[in-house]
Structure 1
């Protein structure tokens, strides 16, 4: 994989080994990360519904085992 910037051999101001002399700035490179537009906030209603459904399921299973232990089922 190559760097997104210009070829290091073709950039003026670089010293042998690729370092930059004091007072000089390295060449700009294109940014390859980041979002192209703001992402929408996810809805909190769906996770709340799933949490309620799981809680009801846990209560039903727990009630089944309690009734089973008391020999009512």
Structure 2
């Protein structure tokens, strides 16, 4: 029988184990480094805040909303 993956319950047949079931030095990969450098470099895209046009449009809509409900409240 040709097995690609040995049975883990049989440590005598598992490759990479010393007698007694210990893993020899150099058999396991080194620990991973930090993920601090894993993302894209975003120094080219600084935050600039809101543009003037959206702020003005939002202010006008809020004022229209307030004027409408103020007129509605006065009418009652």
Is the shorter-chain TM-score for this pair beyond 0.5, marking a shared fold? no
Larger helix fraction of residues: 1
User: Could you say which TM-score interval applies, normalised by the shorter chain?
Assistant: 0.3 to 0.5
